[in-house]
Chains A and B, each alone.
Chain A
Amino acid sequence: MLNIALPKGRLGERVYTMLKQAGYGCPEIEKPDRRLVFENPEVGVRYFWVKPHDVTIYVERGAADLGIAGKDILLEHSPDLYELLDLKTGICRMCVAGPGDFQDDRGKLLRVATKFPHIAGEYYAGKSRDVELIKLNGSIELAPILGLSDVIVDIVETGRTLVENGLTVLEEICPISARLVANPAAYRFQRAEIDLLAERLGREIQDI
Protein backbone atom coordinates (compact mmCIF):
# COMPACT_ATOMS: atom_id res chain seq x y z
CA MET A 1 0.00 0.00 0.00
CA LEU A 2 1.39 3.41 -1.00
CA ASN A 3 0.49 6.36 1.22
CA ILE A 4 0.21 9.53 -0.85
CA ALA A 5 -0.13 13.06 0.58
CA LEU A 6 -2.08 15.33 -1.75
CA PRO A 7 -2.14 19.13 -1.31
CA LYS A 8 -5.63 20.46 -0.56
CA GLY A 9 -7.02 22.68 -3.29
CA ARG A 10 -7.11 22.91 -7.07
CA LEU A 11 -3.57 21.62 -7.59
CA GLY A 12 -4.23 18.50 -5.53
CA GLU A 13 -7.46 17.85 -7.44
CA ARG A 14 -5.66 18.23 -10.79
CA VAL A 15 -2.93 15.80 -9.74
CA TYR A 16 -5.49 13.33 -8.38
CA THR A 17 -7.13 13.36 -11.85
CA MET A 18 -3.74 12.51 -13.37
CA LEU A 19 -3.26 9.71 -10.84
CA LYS A 20 -6.74 8.38 -11.63
CA GLN A 21 -5.96 8.39 -15.35
CA ALA A 22 -2.71 6.56 -14.55
CA GLY A 23 -4.73 3.78 -12.90
CA TYR A 24 -4.59 4.92 -9.28
CA GLY A 25 -8.17 6.09 -8.84
CA CYS A 26 -10.01 5.99 -5.54
CA PRO A 27 -13.82 6.30 -5.83
CA GLU A 28 -14.12 7.30 -2.16
CA ILE A 29 -12.15 10.49 -2.66
CA GLU A 30 -14.59 11.71 -5.29
CA LYS A 31 -17.55 11.72 -2.89
CA PRO A 32 -18.25 15.13 -1.36
CA ASP A 33 -17.56 14.77 2.36
CA ARG A 34 -15.11 16.09 4.95
CA ARG A 35 -12.99 12.98 5.40
CA LEU A 36 -9.25 13.37 4.98
CA VAL A 37 -8.13 9.77 4.36
CA PHE A 38 -9.25 7.64 1.41
CA GLU A 39 -8.16 4.16 0.46
CA ASN A 40 -8.39 1.91 -2.56
CA PRO A 41 -6.86 -1.46 -1.61
CA GLU A 42 -7.49 -2.83 -5.11
CA VAL A 43 -4.84 -0.56 -6.63
CA GLY A 44 -2.79 -0.27 -3.44
CA VAL A 45 -3.10 3.43 -2.63
CA ARG A 46 -4.18 5.50 0.36
CA TYR A 47 -4.60 9.24 -0.21
CA PHE A 48 -4.83 12.00 2.33
CA TRP A 49 -5.41 15.71 1.94
CA VAL A 50 -2.99 17.97 3.78
CA LYS A 51 -2.09 21.65 3.63
CA PRO A 52 0.23 22.26 0.66
CA HIS A 53 3.01 23.51 2.96
CA ASP A 54 2.79 20.34 5.08
CA VAL A 55 3.14 17.77 2.28
CA THR A 56 6.95 17.58 2.53
CA ILE A 57 6.76 17.20 6.32
CA TYR A 58 4.41 14.22 6.01
CA VAL A 59 6.67 12.61 3.42
CA GLU A 60 9.98 13.41 5.12
CA ARG A 61 8.78 11.95 8.41
CA GLY A 62 7.44 8.82 6.74
CA ALA A 63 3.72 9.39 7.40
CA ALA A 64 3.39 9.39 3.60
CA ASP A 65 5.55 7.45 1.14
CA LEU A 66 4.85 9.88 -1.69
CA GLY A 67 3.53 13.41 -1.97
CA ILE A 68 2.82 16.22 -4.38
CA ALA A 69 4.73 19.37 -3.47
CA GLY A 70 5.40 22.67 -5.19
CA LYS A 71 9.00 23.33 -6.22
CA ASP A 72 8.80 26.55 -4.18
CA ILE A 73 8.39 24.52 -0.98
CA LEU A 74 11.19 22.13 -1.96
CA LEU A 75 13.56 25.02 -2.64
CA GLU A 76 12.59 26.87 0.52
CA HIS A 77 12.93 23.98 2.97
CA SER A 78 15.36 21.59 1.19
CA PRO A 79 13.72 18.48 2.64
CA ASP A 80 15.64 15.22 2.40
CA LEU A 81 13.40 13.67 -0.28
CA TYR A 82 13.59 12.18 -3.74
CA GLU A 83 12.10 14.36 -6.46
CA LEU A 84 10.90 11.80 -8.99
CA LEU A 85 8.80 13.77 -11.49
CA ASP A 86 8.07 17.29 -12.66
CA LEU A 87 4.31 17.07 -13.15
CA LYS A 88 4.27 20.26 -15.26
CA THR A 89 1.10 21.45 -13.60
CA GLY A 90 0.59 24.25 -11.10
CA ILE A 91 3.04 26.19 -13.24
CA CYS A 92 4.15 29.62 -12.06
CA ARG A 93 7.38 31.59 -11.51
CA MET A 94 9.33 32.72 -8.46
CA CYS A 95 9.95 36.39 -9.18
CA VAL A 96 11.28 39.64 -7.81
CA ALA A 97 8.54 42.24 -8.18
CA GLY A 98 8.27 45.92 -7.33
CA PRO A 99 6.93 49.26 -8.53
CA GLY A 100 7.23 49.67 -12.31
CA ASP A 101 9.65 52.59 -11.93
CA PHE A 102 11.89 50.78 -9.40
CA GLN A 103 15.63 51.30 -9.88
CA ASP A 104 17.96 49.30 -7.64
CA ASP A 105 20.37 51.68 -5.90
CA ARG A 106 23.42 49.46 -5.20
CA GLY A 107 24.62 51.96 -2.61
CA LYS A 108 21.64 51.16 -0.40
CA LEU A 109 20.55 48.10 1.54
CA LEU A 110 17.73 46.45 -0.42
CA ARG A 111 14.67 45.60 1.65
CA VAL A 112 12.96 42.43 0.41
CA ALA A 113 9.60 41.20 1.71
CA THR A 114 8.86 37.52 1.11
CA LYS A 115 7.24 34.33 2.24
CA PHE A 116 10.37 32.56 0.98
CA PRO A 117 13.37 33.93 2.91
CA HIS A 118 15.65 31.02 2.00
CA ILE A 119 15.01 31.27 -1.74
CA ALA A 120 15.32 35.08 -1.65
CA GLY A 121 18.46 34.94 0.50
CA GLU A 122 20.16 32.43 -1.80
CA TYR A 123 19.20 34.43 -4.89
CA TYR A 124 20.66 37.69 -3.60
CA ALA A 125 23.71 35.94 -2.09
CA GLY A 126 24.39 34.61 -5.59
CA LYS A 127 24.40 38.20 -6.81
CA SER A 128 26.47 39.38 -3.81
CA ARG A 129 23.69 41.88 -3.07
CA ASP A 130 23.33 42.98 0.55
CA VAL A 131 19.65 42.69 1.47
CA GLU A 132 17.39 42.86 4.49
CA LEU A 133 14.87 40.02 4.34
CA ILE A 134 11.44 40.71 5.83
CA LYS A 135 9.49 37.49 6.39
CA LEU A 136 5.75 37.89 5.81
CA ASN A 137 3.03 35.26 5.80
CA GLY A 138 0.66 36.70 3.21
CA SER A 139 -0.48 39.78 1.22
CA ILE A 140 3.14 40.31 0.20
CA GLU A 141 2.11 42.88 -2.44
CA LEU A 142 1.21 45.30 0.37
CA ALA A 143 4.83 45.61 1.53
CA PRO A 144 6.21 47.92 -1.23
CA ILE A 145 2.92 49.86 -1.40
CA LEU A 146 3.17 50.77 2.29
CA GLY A 147 6.94 51.31 2.17
CA LEU A 148 7.70 48.25 4.28
CA SER A 149 10.03 46.94 1.58
CA ASP A 150 11.59 48.02 -1.73
CA VAL A 151 10.71 44.82 -3.58
CA ILE A 152 9.08 41.46 -2.97
CA VAL A 153 10.06 37.89 -3.84
CA ASP A 154 6.95 35.83 -4.46
CA ILE A 155 5.21 33.33 -6.71
CA VAL A 156 3.65 34.84 -9.81
CA GLU A 157 1.07 32.87 -11.78
CA THR A 158 -0.75 35.27 -14.13
CA GLY A 159 0.66 38.50 -12.71
CA ARG A 160 -2.83 39.99 -12.37
CA THR A 161 -2.54 40.59 -8.60
CA LEU A 162 0.73 42.45 -9.18
CA VAL A 163 -0.77 44.65 -11.90
CA GLU A 164 -3.84 45.45 -9.78
CA ASN A 165 -1.48 46.66 -7.04
CA GLY A 166 0.72 48.72 -9.34
CA LEU A 167 3.62 46.27 -9.29
CA THR A 168 5.50 44.51 -12.05
CA VAL A 169 7.88 41.57 -12.41
CA LEU A 170 11.47 42.87 -12.25
CA GLU A 171 13.43 39.60 -12.35
CA GLU A 172 12.57 35.92 -12.70
CA ILE A 173 14.31 33.65 -10.20
CA CYS A 174 13.13 30.21 -11.31
CA PRO A 175 10.14 28.33 -12.73
CA ILE A 176 7.85 26.54 -10.27
CA SER A 177 5.60 23.52 -10.77
CA ALA A 178 4.26 20.54 -8.86
CA ARG A 179 6.66 17.66 -8.21
CA LEU A 180 6.19 14.03 -7.19
CA VAL A 181 8.35 13.48 -4.11
CA ALA A 182 9.21 10.27 -2.27
CA ASN A 183 10.57 9.38 1.14
CA PRO A 184 14.04 7.83 0.57
CA ALA A 185 13.47 5.12 3.18
CA ALA A 186 10.07 4.19 1.73
CA TYR A 187 11.67 4.11 -1.72
CA ARG A 188 14.11 1.44 -0.51
CA PHE A 189 11.35 -0.89 0.61
CA GLN A 190 8.70 -0.17 -2.07
CA ARG A 191 10.91 0.70 -5.02
CA ALA A 192 9.04 -1.43 -7.58
CA GLU A 193 5.64 0.03 -6.66
CA ILE A 194 6.94 3.62 -6.54
CA ASP A 195 8.84 3.31 -9.84
CA LEU A 196 5.73 1.85 -11.50
CA LEU A 197 3.54 4.68 -10.20
CA ALA A 198 6.08 7.29 -11.34
CA GLU A 199 6.33 5.70 -14.77
CA ARG A 200 2.54 5.53 -15.24
CA LEU A 201 2.01 9.03 -13.85
CA GLY A 202 4.81 10.28 -16.09
CA ARG A 203 2.80 9.21 -19.13
CA GLU A 204 -0.04 11.53 -18.02
CA ILE A 205 2.16 14.63 -17.97
CA GLN A 206 1.17 17.16 -20.62
CA ASP A 207 4.19 18.54 -22.40
CA ILE A 208 4.34 22.32 -22.39
Chain B
Amino acid sequence: MTDRTQYTGEAQSEEKVYLPVEKLLFRLRMLYRQYGYQPYRMSKFEKYELYAGNKDFLVSDRVITFNDTNGDLLALKPDVTLSIVKGAQFRKNHVEKLYYQENVYRPSGSAHQFREIMQCGLECIGDLDAYSLYEVLRLAEKSLCEVSEECVLSFSHLGILKALFQRLKAGEAQQAQLLALIAARNLHEITALFELHGWGEESLQAVKKLLSLSCTVSDLPREMEALGLPWMDENVLGELKALASLSNGEMQRVRFDFSVINDIHYYNGLVFQGFVKGISEKILSGGRYDSLLVRMNRKGAAAGFAIYLGLLEQLGFYQQAGKTDVLLLYDRETDTGELKKVAEELRKQGRTVDVQRTISGQYTEILDLRKEAQHA
Protein backbone atom coordinates (compact mmCIF):
# COMPACT_ATOMS: atom_id res chain seq x y z
CA MET B 1 0.00 0.00 0.00
CA THR B 2 1.49 3.35 -1.02
CA ASP B 3 0.37 6.91 -0.40
CA ARG B 4 2.23 8.06 -3.48
CA THR B 5 -0.27 9.60 -5.92
CA GLN B 6 -0.67 8.09 -9.34
CA TYR B 7 -1.09 10.79 -11.96
CA THR B 8 -3.12 9.92 -14.98
CA GLY B 9 -4.66 11.72 -17.90
CA GLU B 10 -3.52 14.48 -20.19
CA ALA B 11 -4.49 17.24 -17.73
CA GLN B 12 -1.82 16.16 -15.26
CA SER B 13 0.80 15.26 -17.84
CA GLU B 14 4.33 16.64 -17.43
CA GLU B 15 3.65 18.83 -20.44
CA LYS B 16 1.04 20.73 -18.43
CA VAL B 17 2.66 20.69 -15.02
CA TYR B 18 6.20 21.85 -15.85
CA LEU B 19 6.82 25.53 -16.38
CA PRO B 20 8.28 26.37 -19.81
CA VAL B 21 11.52 27.45 -18.10
CA GLU B 22 11.77 24.07 -16.35
CA LYS B 23 11.26 22.26 -19.64
CA LEU B 24 13.93 24.47 -21.20
CA LEU B 25 16.40 23.67 -18.43
CA PHE B 26 15.75 19.98 -18.92
CA ARG B 27 16.41 20.27 -22.66
CA LEU B 28 19.58 22.30 -22.06
CA ARG B 29 20.88 19.70 -19.60
CA MET B 30 20.22 16.99 -22.19
CA LEU B 31 22.04 19.05 -24.81
CA TYR B 32 25.11 19.67 -22.65
CA ARG B 33 25.25 16.04 -21.53
CA GLN B 34 25.10 14.99 -25.18
CA TYR B 35 28.36 16.90 -25.71
CA GLY B 36 30.05 15.32 -22.68
CA TYR B 37 29.60 18.26 -20.29
CA GLN B 38 29.34 17.42 -16.61
CA PRO B 39 27.11 19.18 -14.08
CA TYR B 40 28.85 21.57 -11.69
CA ARG B 41 27.22 22.53 -8.43
CA MET B 42 28.56 25.19 -6.12
CA SER B 43 27.81 26.94 -2.87
CA LYS B 44 25.62 30.02 -2.79
CA PHE B 45 28.48 32.06 -1.34
CA GLU B 46 32.22 32.53 -1.75
CA LYS B 47 34.94 34.40 0.11
CA TYR B 48 34.60 38.08 -0.81
CA GLU B 49 38.29 38.34 -1.77
CA LEU B 50 37.57 36.33 -4.94
CA TYR B 51 35.36 39.18 -6.18
CA ALA B 52 37.33 42.06 -4.67
CA GLY B 53 40.32 41.13 -6.85
CA ASN B 54 38.26 40.80 -10.03
CA LYS B 55 35.65 43.53 -9.74
CA ASP B 56 35.94 44.63 -13.36
CA PHE B 57 35.03 41.10 -14.50
CA LEU B 58 31.68 41.37 -12.73
CA VAL B 59 28.57 42.87 -14.32
CA SER B 60 28.32 45.12 -11.27
CA ASP B 61 30.94 45.78 -8.59
CA ARG B 62 28.23 45.79 -5.91
CA VAL B 63 28.12 42.53 -3.99
CA ILE B 64 26.04 41.39 -0.99
CA THR B 65 28.49 40.57 1.80
CA PHE B 66 28.20 39.12 5.30
CA ASN B 67 30.48 37.72 7.98
CA ASP B 68 30.87 34.00 8.57
CA THR B 69 30.89 32.76 12.18
CA ASN B 70 34.72 32.79 12.12
CA GLY B 71 34.81 36.41 10.93
CA ASP B 72 35.59 35.68 7.27
CA LEU B 73 33.92 38.09 4.88
CA LEU B 74 31.67 36.12 2.53
CA ALA B 75 29.67 37.23 -0.48
CA LEU B 76 26.50 35.91 -2.07
CA LYS B 77 27.71 34.79 -5.48
CA PRO B 78 27.35 37.59 -8.08
CA ASP B 79 28.97 35.41 -10.76
CA VAL B 80 29.57 31.76 -11.56
CA THR B 81 32.60 31.75 -13.87
CA LEU B 82 35.07 32.96 -11.22
CA SER B 83 34.11 30.10 -8.88
CA ILE B 84 34.54 27.49 -11.62
CA VAL B 85 37.87 28.90 -12.84
CA LYS B 86 39.17 28.98 -9.27
CA GLY B 87 38.76 25.25 -8.99
CA ALA B 88 39.97 24.32 -12.48
CA GLN B 89 43.06 22.10 -12.88
CA PHE B 90 45.13 22.21 -16.04
CA ARG B 91 46.08 18.94 -17.71
CA LYS B 92 47.80 18.77 -21.08
CA ASN B 93 45.56 17.54 -23.93
CA HIS B 94 42.55 17.67 -21.63
CA VAL B 95 39.57 20.01 -21.56
CA GLU B 96 37.33 20.27 -18.53
CA LYS B 97 33.72 20.66 -19.69
CA LEU B 98 31.21 21.80 -17.11
CA TYR B 99 27.66 23.11 -17.15
CA TYR B 100 25.72 24.74 -14.36
CA GLN B 101 22.40 26.15 -13.33
CA GLU B 102 22.79 28.60 -10.46
CA ASN B 103 21.28 31.69 -8.91
CA VAL B 104 23.48 34.78 -8.72
CA TYR B 105 22.85 37.95 -6.74
CA ARG B 106 23.56 41.37 -8.20
CA PRO B 107 21.90 44.73 -8.92
CA SER B 108 19.68 44.63 -11.95
CA GLY B 109 17.22 46.77 -13.88
CA SER B 110 16.94 50.54 -14.08
CA ALA B 111 16.43 50.82 -10.30
CA HIS B 112 19.73 48.90 -9.73
CA GLN B 113 18.24 46.92 -6.86
CA PHE B 114 19.71 43.57 -5.83
CA ARG B 115 17.93 40.64 -7.42
CA GLU B 116 18.26 36.89 -7.45
CA ILE B 117 19.00 36.00 -11.07
CA MET B 118 18.79 32.49 -12.36
CA GLN B 119 21.40 31.67 -14.97
CA CYS B 120 22.72 28.60 -16.64
CA GLY B 121 25.64 28.07 -18.92
CA LEU B 122 28.80 26.16 -19.51
CA GLU B 123 32.54 26.54 -19.18
CA CYS B 124 35.20 24.77 -21.21
CA ILE B 125 38.61 25.09 -19.53
CA GLY B 126 42.03 23.58 -20.24
CA ASP B 127 44.04 22.75 -23.34
CA LEU B 128 41.58 24.31 -25.83
CA ASP B 129 41.93 24.05 -29.59
CA ALA B 130 39.90 25.16 -32.62
CA TYR B 131 37.49 22.26 -32.18
CA SER B 132 36.76 23.19 -28.54
CA LEU B 133 35.93 26.76 -29.61
CA TYR B 134 33.70 25.56 -32.42
CA GLU B 135 31.84 23.33 -29.96
CA VAL B 136 31.25 26.18 -27.49
CA LEU B 137 29.95 28.44 -30.27
CA ARG B 138 27.75 25.66 -31.64
CA LEU B 139 26.34 24.93 -28.17
CA ALA B 140 25.61 28.62 -27.66
CA GLU B 141 23.63 28.65 -30.91
CA LYS B 142 21.84 25.40 -30.04
CA SER B 143 21.00 26.76 -26.57
CA LEU B 144 19.40 29.85 -28.11
CA CYS B 145 17.43 27.66 -30.50
CA GLU B 146 16.09 25.73 -27.51
CA VAL B 147 14.59 29.04 -26.31
CA SER B 148 13.26 30.04 -29.72
CA GLU B 149 14.03 29.35 -33.36
CA GLU B 150 13.85 33.11 -33.93
CA CYS B 151 17.29 33.89 -32.57
CA VAL B 152 20.61 35.40 -33.57
CA LEU B 153 24.03 34.69 -32.09
CA SER B 154 26.22 37.71 -32.89
CA PHE B 155 29.95 37.10 -32.68
CA SER B 156 33.22 38.88 -33.20
CA HIS B 157 36.90 38.28 -32.50
CA LEU B 158 38.73 40.68 -30.20
CA GLY B 159 41.95 39.95 -32.10
CA ILE B 160 40.56 42.14 -34.89
CA LEU B 161 40.25 45.06 -32.47
CA LYS B 162 43.71 44.45 -31.02
CA ALA B 163 45.23 44.48 -34.52
CA LEU B 164 43.36 47.72 -35.25
CA PHE B 165 44.63 49.33 -32.03
CA GLN B 166 48.18 48.36 -32.93
CA ARG B 167 47.80 49.90 -36.36
CA LEU B 168 46.39 53.11 -34.86
CA LYS B 169 48.98 53.11 -32.05
CA ALA B 170 46.06 53.99 -29.77
CA GLY B 171 46.73 54.53 -26.06
CA GLU B 172 44.61 52.95 -23.34
CA ALA B 173 42.21 55.90 -22.98
CA GLN B 174 41.81 56.19 -26.75
CA GLN B 175 41.15 52.45 -26.97
CA ALA B 176 38.43 52.72 -24.33
CA GLN B 177 36.78 55.61 -26.21
CA LEU B 178 36.88 53.77 -29.53
CA LEU B 179 35.57 50.54 -27.98
CA ALA B 180 32.56 52.32 -26.48
CA LEU B 181 31.76 53.95 -29.82
CA ILE B 182 32.11 50.70 -31.78
CA ALA B 183 29.87 48.92 -29.23
CA ALA B 184 27.25 51.69 -29.75
CA ARG B 185 27.59 51.61 -33.58
CA ASN B 186 28.21 55.33 -33.27
CA LEU B 187 29.73 56.07 -36.68
CA HIS B 188 29.47 59.88 -36.42
CA GLU B 189 31.57 60.03 -33.25
CA ILE B 190 33.97 57.35 -34.54
CA THR B 191 34.58 59.63 -37.55
CA ALA B 192 35.18 62.60 -35.24
CA LEU B 193 37.59 60.56 -33.08
CA PHE B 194 39.60 59.46 -36.12
CA GLU B 195 39.81 63.08 -37.30
CA LEU B 196 40.84 64.24 -33.82
CA HIS B 197 43.70 61.75 -33.56
CA GLY B 198 44.68 61.84 -37.25
CA TRP B 199 44.24 58.07 -37.57
CA GLY B 200 43.68 58.24 -41.32
CA GLU B 201 40.86 57.69 -43.77
CA GLU B 202 41.91 54.14 -44.69
CA SER B 203 41.56 52.84 -41.12
CA LEU B 204 38.29 54.73 -40.65
CA GLN B 205 36.87 53.07 -43.75
CA ALA B 206 38.01 49.68 -42.42
CA VAL B 207 36.07 50.26 -39.16
CA LYS B 208 32.99 51.37 -41.09
CA LYS B 209 33.15 48.32 -43.36
CA LEU B 210 33.63 45.98 -40.41
CA LEU B 211 30.60 47.51 -38.67
CA SER B 212 28.43 47.11 -41.76
CA LEU B 213 29.52 43.50 -42.28
CA SER B 214 26.99 40.81 -41.32
CA CYS B 215 27.76 37.27 -42.47
CA THR B 216 27.90 33.67 -41.30
CA VAL B 217 30.91 31.90 -39.77
CA SER B 218 31.49 30.08 -43.04
CA ASP B 219 31.54 33.28 -45.10
CA LEU B 220 33.62 35.38 -42.72
CA PRO B 221 37.18 34.55 -43.93
CA ARG B 222 36.19 35.32 -47.54
CA GLU B 223 34.41 38.55 -46.52
CA MET B 224 37.41 39.64 -44.42
CA GLU B 225 39.75 39.07 -47.34
CA ALA B 226 37.43 41.10 -49.56
CA LEU B 227 37.68 44.01 -47.10
CA GLY B 228 41.45 44.08 -47.68
CA LEU B 229 42.87 44.59 -44.20
CA PRO B 230 46.65 44.15 -44.57
CA TRP B 231 47.20 44.88 -40.88
CA MET B 232 45.07 41.96 -39.73
CA ASP B 233 46.71 39.40 -37.42
CA GLU B 234 47.34 36.15 -39.33
CA ASN B 235 46.61 34.08 -36.19
CA VAL B 236 43.16 35.64 -35.91
CA LEU B 237 42.44 34.92 -39.56
CA GLY B 238 43.69 31.36 -39.04
CA GLU B 239 41.33 30.88 -36.11
CA LEU B 240 38.38 32.24 -38.09
CA LYS B 241 39.25 29.99 -41.05
CA ALA B 242 39.37 26.93 -38.76
CA LEU B 243 35.94 27.85 -37.38
CA ALA B 244 34.57 28.37 -40.89
CA SER B 245 35.88 25.00 -41.96
CA LEU B 246 34.29 23.24 -38.98
CA SER B 247 31.05 25.16 -39.44
CA ASN B 248 30.86 23.99 -43.06
CA GLY B 249 27.66 25.89 -43.83
CA GLU B 250 25.98 25.09 -40.49
CA MET B 251 25.32 27.75 -37.86
CA GLN B 252 23.14 29.98 -40.06
CA ARG B 253 21.97 31.89 -36.99
CA VAL B 254 25.52 32.82 -36.02
CA ARG B 255 26.38 36.19 -37.60
CA PHE B 256 29.54 38.28 -37.49
CA ASP B 257 28.92 41.61 -35.72
CA PHE B 258 31.88 43.87 -35.04
CA SER B 259 29.94 45.78 -32.34
CA VAL B 260 30.06 42.72 -30.03
CA ILE B 261 32.84 43.43 -27.56
CA ASN B 262 32.12 42.26 -23.99
CA ASP B 263 35.03 43.13 -21.66
CA ILE B 264 38.36 43.40 -23.44
CA HIS B 265 40.28 43.02 -20.16
CA TYR B 266 39.09 39.44 -19.75
CA TYR B 267 38.01 38.24 -23.15
CA ASN B 268 40.76 37.79 -25.69
CA GLY B 269 39.41 35.99 -28.73
CA LEU B 270 36.02 34.90 -29.87
CA VAL B 271 33.19 36.86 -28.17
CA PHE B 272 29.48 36.46 -28.68
CA GLN B 273 26.04 37.64 -27.56
CA GLY B 274 22.73 35.88 -28.12
CA PHE B 275 19.39 37.51 -28.88
CA VAL B 276 15.91 36.02 -29.08
CA LYS B 277 12.99 37.76 -30.76
CA GLY B 278 10.66 39.24 -28.16
CA ILE B 279 13.37 39.78 -25.52
CA SER B 280 14.62 43.35 -25.28
CA GLU B 281 18.28 42.64 -24.49
CA LYS B 282 20.95 40.00 -24.92
CA ILE B 283 19.96 36.76 -23.24
CA LEU B 284 23.29 35.01 -23.75
CA SER B 285 26.82 36.30 -23.37
CA GLY B 286 30.16 34.59 -23.63
CA GLY B 287 33.47 34.10 -25.31
CA ARG B 288 37.07 33.07 -24.83
CA TYR B 289 38.56 34.39 -21.60
CA ASP B 290 42.17 33.24 -21.28
CA SER B 291 42.98 36.66 -19.77
CA LEU B 292 40.89 35.84 -16.69
CA LEU B 293 42.91 32.64 -16.21
CA VAL B 294 46.14 34.64 -16.39
CA ARG B 295 44.80 37.06 -13.77
CA MET B 296 43.94 34.12 -11.53
CA ASN B 297 47.33 32.43 -12.06
CA ARG B 298 45.83 29.50 -13.92
CA LYS B 299 47.37 27.75 -16.91
CA GLY B 300 45.51 27.03 -20.11
CA ALA B 301 42.65 28.64 -21.96
CA ALA B 302 38.91 28.94 -21.37
CA ALA B 303 35.67 29.70 -23.13
CA GLY B 304 32.06 29.59 -22.06
CA PHE B 305 28.77 31.38 -21.89
CA ALA B 306 25.88 32.22 -19.59
CA ILE B 307 22.18 32.39 -20.34
CA TYR B 308 20.17 34.92 -18.31
CA LEU B 309 17.04 32.91 -17.58
CA GLY B 310 15.22 35.74 -15.77
CA LEU B 311 14.75 37.50 -19.11
CA LEU B 312 12.54 34.63 -20.21
CA GLU B 313 9.76 36.26 -18.15
CA GLN B 314 9.32 38.47 -21.22
CA LEU B 315 8.32 35.40 -23.26
CA GLY B 316 6.04 33.95 -20.56
CA PHE B 317 8.42 31.10 -19.65
CA TYR B 318 7.42 31.35 -15.98
CA GLN B 319 3.68 31.01 -16.56
CA GLN B 320 1.87 27.75 -15.92
CA ALA B 321 0.07 26.56 -19.02
CA GLY B 322 -3.66 26.03 -18.82
CA LYS B 323 -6.21 26.51 -16.06
CA THR B 324 -7.49 24.07 -13.45
CA ASP B 325 -10.14 21.77 -14.94
CA VAL B 326 -12.76 21.72 -12.21
CA LEU B 327 -13.73 23.94 -9.29
CA LEU B 328 -15.85 22.29 -6.60
CA LEU B 329 -17.78 25.00 -4.81
CA TYR B 330 -18.97 24.18 -1.30
CA ASP B 331 -20.26 25.86 1.86
CA ARG B 332 -20.81 25.02 5.55
CA GLU B 333 -23.90 22.93 4.72
CA THR B 334 -22.10 20.79 2.14
CA ASP B 335 -21.39 17.19 3.17
CA THR B 336 -17.57 17.25 3.26
CA GLY B 337 -17.43 13.46 2.90
CA GLU B 338 -19.32 13.77 -0.36
CA LEU B 339 -17.10 16.72 -1.39
CA LYS B 340 -13.96 14.65 -0.81
CA LYS B 341 -15.41 11.69 -2.72
CA VAL B 342 -16.31 13.81 -5.78
CA ALA B 343 -12.88 15.51 -5.78
CA GLU B 344 -11.00 12.21 -5.56
CA GLU B 345 -13.13 10.63 -8.27
CA LEU B 346 -12.42 13.52 -10.62
CA ARG B 347 -8.67 13.38 -9.85
CA LYS B 348 -8.71 9.63 -10.58
CA GLN B 349 -10.11 10.54 -14.00
CA GLY B 350 -6.97 12.59 -14.53
CA ARG B 351 -8.58 15.99 -14.06
CA THR B 352 -7.14 18.83 -11.98
CA VAL B 353 -9.50 19.84 -9.17
CA ASP B 354 -9.64 22.83 -6.84
CA VAL B 355 -11.97 22.98 -3.84
CA GLN B 356 -13.07 26.46 -2.73
CA ARG B 357 -15.95 28.31 -1.08
CA THR B 358 -15.81 31.19 -3.60
CA ILE B 359 -14.81 31.57 -7.23
CA SER B 360 -11.48 33.36 -7.50
CA GLY B 361 -9.77 32.14 -10.60
CA GLN B 362 -10.38 30.58 -13.98
CA TYR B 363 -11.68 27.05 -14.36
CA THR B 364 -12.88 24.99 -17.29
CA GLU B 365 -15.85 23.74 -15.30
CA ILE B 366 -17.50 24.65 -11.98
CA LEU B 367 -19.47 22.07 -9.97
CA ASP B 368 -21.65 23.78 -7.37
CA LEU B 369 -22.04 21.60 -4.24
CA ARG B 370 -23.28 24.45 -2.02
CA LYS B 371 -26.39 23.69 0.08
CA GLU B 372 -27.07 27.00 1.87
CA ALA B 373 -28.49 28.64 -1.25
CA GLN B 374 -30.82 25.71 -1.75
CA HIS B 375 -32.14 25.92 1.85
CA ALA B 376 -32.68 29.69 1.72
A residues neighboring B (CB under 8 Å) = 57, 60-63, 80-86, 182-189, 191
Contacts and interface: CB of A to CB of B under 8 A. Distances in A.
A189 B185 contact: no
Contacts of A81: 184
B185 A84 contact: yes
Given A61-B280, A86-B188, A185-B282, A191 B214 contact: yes
Contacts of A187: 185
Given A60-B110, A183-B280, A185-B279, 9 more contacts: A57-B110, A61-B110, A62-B279, A81-B184, A184-B275, A185-B275, A185-B280, A187-B185, A189-B150
Interface of B: 110, 150, 152, 154, 184-189, 214, 259, 275, 277, 279-282, 314
19 contacts: A57-B110, A61-B110, A62-B314, A80-B281, A82-B185, A82-B186, A83-B184, A84-B186, A84-B187, A85-B188, A183-B280, A184-B259, A184-B281, A184-B282, A185-B275, A185-B279, A188-B154, A188-B275, A189-B275
Given A57-B110, A185-B275, A189-B150, A82 B281 contact: no
Nearest to A190: B277
Contact of A189 (B184, B187, B277): B277
B113 to A, nearest CB: 16
A173 B268 CA distance: 34
Contact of A185 (B110, B185, B189, B281): B281
A189 B282 contact: no
The 7 A-B residue pairs with the shortest CB-CB distance, nearest first, are A62-B280, A82-B185, A83-B186, A86-B188, A188-B152, A188-B275, A185-B275
A62 B314 CA distance: 10
Contacts of B154: 188
B contact face: mostly helix, strand, loop, or mixed: loop
A83 B185 contact: yes
A62 B275 CA distance: 12
A193 to B, nearest CB: 14
Contacts of A183: 280
A66 to B, nearest CB: 13
Contacts of B282: 184-185
B280 A189 contact: no
B147 to A, nearest CB: 13
B280 A60 contact: yes
Contacts of B187: 84
A82 B280 contact: no
Nearest to B185: A82
A177 to B, nearest CB: 10
Contacts of B152: 188-189
Contacts of A85: 188
Nearest to B109: A61
A80 B277 CA distance: 17
A11 to B, nearest CB: 18
Contacts of A57: 110
A142 to B, nearest CB: 29
Given A60-B280, A188-B152, A189-B152, A82 B188 contact: no
A31 to B, nearest CB: 31
Contacts of B279: 62, 185
Nearest to B277: A189
A82 B277 contact: no
A162 B275 CA distance: 47
A143 B186 CA distance: 35
Contacts of B259: 82, 184
Contacts of B185: 82-84, 182, 187
A82 B184 contact: yes
Contacts of A63: 280
A183 B275 CA distance: 12
Contacts of B277: 189
B96 to A, nearest CB: 32
Contacts of A61: 110, 280
Nearest to B110: A57
Contacts of A86: 188-189
Nearest to B154: A188
A61 B281 CA distance: 7
A45 B281 CA distance: 21
Contacts of A185: 275, 279-282
Nearest to B255: A188
Contacts of B214: 191
A185 B278 CA distance: 9
B183 to A, nearest CB: 9
B17 to A, nearest CB: 30
A152 B71 CA distance: 46
Contacts of A60: 110, 280-281
Nearest to A183: B280
Contacts of B275: 184-185, 188-189
Nearest to B181: A83
The listed residue with most A CB atoms (<10 A of its CB), out of B184, B277, B281, is B184
B309 to A, nearest CB: 16
A187 B260 CA distance: 13
A187 B281 CA distance: 11
